[in-house]
Structure 1
């Protein structure tokens, strides 16, 4: 089995945030050896501390013993105050730095220090977005041409999937991406909550998965099959269903997820009732909730596919639709099967039933009537036929 390592690190840009105070974080798309791609956010001060620790771990390659043996790239120290201009100008330096770092021998480029630094953290998945005044972070994306110029010599480039936009989409925040019907975007990251990070020419941002379709056919093949056994989750926020097939649930309720759909609206079961519920408000049972704000405060609920009235697909074959009645029917079948399994695992009860049936008195079998009695009770027509046969 291949040991974990990073194939590629691409700088996407940076964000200006306002919690707990005004600061900047850089956005990196990290591609691992198994071709998974993760989006992480790091402050420059964190990157510089990582750089200093790396130099301490490898003093020869850091040039501490002899400068001519230095292979670890240089990285300038952070300024006393990092403003917008310095943060923006540093992007090329960071792209070059990580490009050079990954080209070093495996003992450095694949060491635990490098791998741990780019592991996904809770604040990468749910980054803080708003402060008490409702101010959203400002996103600054690196131009694609500039990024390619600085990372074109890296082996194992990121191969992005192409999807087509099925209807016009207007963005509602700076972190989102606006697109027109028929545009082809490249998918940088797919999130289960229904928001995908996309690239359209020299722009990047989040788009609802409901507005996207693969070029080669309907995308139900990418969705998981229904799991009628159910996967236990807990609701993290109140939601009142707006459509008839949506469930209204309170925060802290236990539900079973039976079908995860790409648009971020999952089919859940509460008791004997099923319905759609936003994945953004669900958390797997037993997992610890992230310390930061819920991602729904960074992006609103994604639209459902069924609500896009002006969708224009290029595929003749439509996506397969499963009705709530089918979900419920299959769920009941599973519950019955589970109950039958419980019954078969209770031999004591079965034995007791058999003993009870044996202890009950059996009805007496009446004696067979005589020939004369039978003839006496027959009709005259039957008696005449019997006489004829005799």
Structure 2
């Protein structure tokens, strides 16, 4: 007898039920290889429990031994409290997961565990009794919407694995307690430095500063500094607790020059730079409230910084390369000076304002023009000479070796000056 296996799974929508309590189930049309079609109802927690069992049954394909070998698609953990919006937005992810699951090698896609999940049950053919006062609500996905949603997903979502570098105890019901050496899967990386992760059966928010990548100490997703800066406004006052942080009041406009994944961004106020909690910032012209992080923002507590963690133990021999505030400040001032020196040409008079760009190109060799030159294509006056940089700027831009030599010469010159001054006084001159 030929083995029965699932050939195709289509997500039709979901149903909101009120008995025995309010919950949601997805409607799945399962097509088998014997050409039969069955409509089944499955809750998301059950599908996620199946997903965890599948990973335990096939550890190599789940990437537990080597993540490069992972072919089993990832599935985000259920939320603490499901609602209609989360159930609806999860449909495209679940549809993609089922499609990827059926396309896995036969030893997985045709396993007993997969068949048990999609096998029709008595409660599928005869749904349980409804609520005496409320009727079940059915939400069907349109074909156009399904195609649009699934087209945005190029493949199965693979969750990143991180290692815990120190013990962390949760401080709210939304967080999770972790121990050093635990491996967690990252479901969401929030810009404020709180990451939603899952560890075995636990899931919740943890500070990103307590986690490190497995491949190396550096974060591949972390952007380089942008000294041009982006304008942000502070939503809450913060007093610096460390020397490399900035104290700012509510409503101040600053420039963000480096967005770090731990949630402590480097900002610039005037010529000063320092770390500041990103959860107290919002971009100018945008709404500051973020519904997806409402429960995290309500705490108004920035995550701890890596430098404040005690007994941190990393598996990498080289630590994470951090840029010092002196480097941030020096590069920032250099950028501002270069930016200010670009438009240092004197303001043009009304006569010179009629000059065309072609005339500038004709004088690209910076040749001075005589006063009697024809006005057709030549400029009057001397060529534009850039201002000489200040001694402090020269010392800032030169190399360390040059800086040392200049310091030695300066000290010798000072000694000679003192010697000559003393001799003059001695001889009465």
User: What TM bracket, shorter-length normalisation?
Assistant: 0.5 to 0.7
- Structure 1 unaligned runs (5+)? 1-6, 12-22, 29-34, 51-72, 83-89, 120-154, 359-390
Rounded Cα–Cα distance in structure 2 between residues aligned with 1:290 and 1:40 = 20
Rounded Cα–Cα distance in structure 1 between residues aligned with 2:129 and 2:242 = 54
Is 1:258 the counterpart of 2:295? The answer is no
Contact 1:192 1:279 (8 Å CA) reproduced: yes
Q: Describe the shift of the 1:75–1:281 C-alpha distance in structure 2 as closer, same or farther (beyond 3 A).
A: farther
SS of aligned partner of 1:313: coil
1:107 to 144, 159, 171: 144
Rounded Cα–Cα distance in structure 2 between residues aligned with 1:48 and 1:80 = 24
Aligned residue pairs total 255
Contact 1:237 1:250 (8 Å CA) reproduced: yes
Contact 2:279 2:300 (8 Å CA) reproduced: no
Contact 2:227 2:335 (8 Å CA) reproduced: yes
Q: Describe the shift of the 1:283–1:36 C-alpha distance in structure 2 as closer, same or farther (beyond 3 A).
A: farther
Equivalence for 1:313: 314
Rounded Cα–Cα distance in structure 1 between residues aligned with 2:229 and 2:195 = 25
- TM-score, length basis structure 2: 0.49
Equivalence for 1:328: 329
Contact 1:27 1:42 (8 Å CA) reproduced: no
SS of aligned partner of 1:335: helix
- Pairwise CA distance, 1:219: 2.2
Rounded Cα–Cα distance in structure 2 between residues aligned with 1:74 and 1:290 = 45
- Pairwise CA distance, 1:105: 8.3
Contact 2:165 2:314 (8 Å CA) reproduced: yes
Higher relative contact order (CA 8 A, sep 6+): 1
Rounded Cα–Cα distance in structure 1 between residues aligned with 2:133 and 2:246 = 49
Rounded Cα–Cα distance in structure 1 between residues aligned with 2:288 and 2:213 = 33
> Where do 1:1-390 residues align within 5 Å?
44=83, 106-110=143-147, 157-290=156-289, 295-298=296-299, 300-344=301-345, 346-348=347-349
Rounded Cα–Cα distance in structure 1 between residues aligned with 2:314 and 2:161 = 15
Rounded Cα–Cα distance in structure 1 between residues aligned with 2:75 and 2:345 = 44
Rounded Cα–Cα distance in structure 2 between residues aligned with 1:39 and 1:228 = 40
- Pairwise CA distance, 1:296: 3.2
Q: Describe the shift of the 1:40–1:232 C-alpha distance in structure 2 as closer, same or farther (beyond 3 A).
A: farther
Contact 1:211 1:305 (8 Å CA) reproduced: yes
Deviations 1:8-57 (A, max 9, x none): 9xx9xxxxxxxxxxx999999xxxxxx9989989864668999xxxxxxx
Rounded Cα–Cα distance in structure 1 between residues aligned with 2:229 and 2:339 = 12
- Pairwise CA distance, 1:228: 0.7
Contact 1:38 1:189 (8 Å CA) reproduced: no
Pairwise CA RMSD? 4.8
Contact 2:218 2:321 (8 Å CA) reproduced: no
- TM-score, length basis structure 1: 0.54
SS of aligned partner of 2:342: helix
- Pairwise CA distance, 1:310: 1.2
Greater shift in the superposed pair: 277-286 or 331-340 = 331-340
Rounded Cα–Cα distance in structure 1 between residues aligned with 2:126 and 2:87 = 10
Rounded Cα–Cα distance in structure 1 between residues aligned with 2:258 and 2:320 = 15
Q: Describe the shift of the 1:271–1:165 C-alpha distance in structure 2 as closer, same or farther (beyond 3 A).
A: same
- Pairwise CA distance, 1:346: 3.9
- Pairwise CA distance, 1:225: 0.3
Rounded Cα–Cα distance in structure 2 between residues aligned with 1:204 and 1:304 = 22
Deviations 1:259-306 (A, max 9, x none): 111110000000011000000001011112228768432462101111
- Pairwise CA distance, 1:312: 0.4
Deviations 1:294-337 (A, max 9, x none): 84324621011111131101101211121111111111111111
Deviations 1:165-223 (A, max 9, x none): 00011111121111111111111111110011111011111110000001110124331
Contact 2:77 2:198 (8 Å CA) reproduced: no
Q: Describe the shift of the 1:48–1:210 C-alpha distance in structure 2 as closer, same or farther (beyond 3 A).
A: closer
Contact 1:48 1:77 (8 Å CA) reproduced: no
Greater shift in the superposed pair: 297-306 or 259-268 = 297-306
Greater shift in the superposed pair: 168-177 or 36-45 = 36-45
Contact 2:168 2:177 (8 Å CA) reproduced: yes
